[in-house]
Amino acid sequence: MYDLAIIGGGPGGYVAAERAGAAGLKTVIFEKKSLGGVCLNEGCIPTKTLLYSAKVYNYAVTGDHYGVYVKEPSFQYGEIVDRKDKVVKKLVGGIKAAMKGFKVEVVNAEAKVTGRSAEGIAISADGKEFLARNLLLCTGSEAAVPPFPGLKEAGDVIVTNREILALREQPKELVVIGGGVIGMEFAAFYNTLGTKVTVVEMLPKILGPLDDEISAMLQKVYAKRGVNFCLKCKVTGIEGNTVVYEDPEGKVCRVSGDKILVSVGRRANFKGLGLEELGVEFALNPAGRPVGVKVDSKMRTNIPNVYAAGDITGFSMLAHTASREGEVAVNNILGKEDHMRYEAIPGVVYTNPEVAGVGLTEEQAKASGKDFTVVKLPMAYAGRFVAENEGGEGICKIIVGKKYHEVLGVHMLGNPCSEIIHSACIAIETEMTLEQLKEVVFPHPTVSEIIKETAFTIK
């Protein structure tokens, strides 16, 4: 009998397993592919590794801006991909070691819930039966691929985040359907390496949930570097290696590439797990279709002792959300008071320049009817940013409540904002006011000082 069985070894599952193991719970984790899940094997880590190679190449190309000359900078695409694989392998090894360290049993097999009794929850995997007092579902999500006419016939021209990572040859021309996070990160990577990139996006802006001003700035940067953006464009079909779409005037247009990346969102994995039979309730979209496992703020499903965390909930599909949700579930299993809060979850896009934000955007603040003020400064107000980003653009925007000056949102464009956004997360999580933020001593010289400088511009 296990105290906790976890299905899915991604950042929701393996972090929960570590916390549970550390707390002394007898824990088993089931993973049918590779520990680390999409994040480590086909998502966050491999893309950031590729993007870092592109960044290093870009440093070589633009070295002259810093008085450094590199003769004929070049790269070996295969070696970039090999390094990505090496990084993934190393980190998967790290998780395996952590599981061992925390005495978590790892079962490399597909698991299915087979029943529930007074004794516990039964799970079958690898031809064996496992019984656990608590179950945590962390089966993640997969790329949603709409049934565009002609998509099947296009064969391996069509790639999602998974197949594109495995390419051994750099596409000369890439069409990206969907200018969201995945689309823009791959657009950035391939654009830096010289691939001709076109982004076809149905909304009037890239990176929909991002602050409008920042999204427009990023688009301008990449348009200047040659990325072709087709906004308000609806894809109507695929013809071989050609994407057919309708432009805003309803004109039928075509754009071709040797690869077509479909990055139009992700779908939670909750089918085939035996959840329907168990009576687990699902969250429904406005059309009444199930989009994920329904949970409360303690990550409990409607079935006692059955919890869910991460993308399987169909909500806030981010690795760091998943990990925190896993921790919340484990704390509740341990009888500790803990619940999930989503106000201070950061979002980062690892383009170059990076984008990072947390809390309400200006548009969301307006829509919420809150009385708020926006303060903002160019990143160039931070000395370190100027030193390290020759000619680089950037902005820091803080959204604050008008009356109490509480921090409602912080949004930035400029390197390395992914590494400094957590200070804004802390400010929002602890309900800090700008006055309190101003009293915090930030290290000098760092780009992080831009947050404090921006706070001082409040009237």
Q: Which parts of this chain interact with ligand NAI (CB under 6 A)?
A: 146, 177-183, 185, 200-203, 208, 235, 263-266, 317-318, 348-350
The sign of the CA dihedral 254, 209, 345, 420 is positive
Locate all alpha helices (DSSP H) within 62-137, ordered by sequence. 77-101
For 337, phi and psi rounded to 5 degrees? -70, 125
Say whether 400 sits in a helix, a strand or coil. Answer: strand
Locate all alpha helices (DSSP H) within 167-280, ordered by sequence. 181-192, 212-224, 275-278
Minimum gap (Å) between residue 241 Cβ and ligand NAI: 17
Which residue, 265 or 401, has its beta carbon nearer to ligand NAI? 265
Which residue, 202 or 303, has its beta carbon nearer to ligand NAI? 202
What whole-number distance in Å separates Cα of residue 137 and Cα of residue 301?
Answer: 10
Which residue, 93 or 146, has its beta carbon nearer to ligand NAI? 146
Minimum gap (Å) between residue 177 Cβ and ligand NAI: 5
What whole-number distance in Å separates Cα of residue 206 and Cα of residue 178?
Answer: 8
What whole-number distance in Å separates Cα of residue 246 and Cα of residue 253?
Answer: 6
For 180, phi and psi rounded to 5 degrees? -90, -155
Minimum gap (Å) between residue 208 Cβ and ligand NAI: 5
Longest alpha-carbon distance in the chain: 72
Nearest position to ligand NAI, beta carbon: 180
Per the structure block, which two tokens stand in for 185? 């990160």
Class of residue 371 by CB neighbours under 10 A (exposed 0-12, middle 13-18, buried 19+): exposed
What whole-number distance in Å separates Cα of residue 413 and Cα of residue 353?
Answer: 6
Question: Nearest CA to 407 among 443, 445, 438, 378?
Answer: 438
Minimum gap (Å) between residue 178 Cβ and ligand NAI: 3
Mark 325-335 as b/e (b = at least 16 C-beta within 10 Å).
bbbbbbbbbbe
The residues that are catalytic are 444
384: number of Cβ within 10 Å: 17
What whole-number distance in Å separates Cα of residue 216 and Cα of residue 208?
Answer: 11
Minimum gap (Å) between residue 118 Cβ and ligand NAI: 39
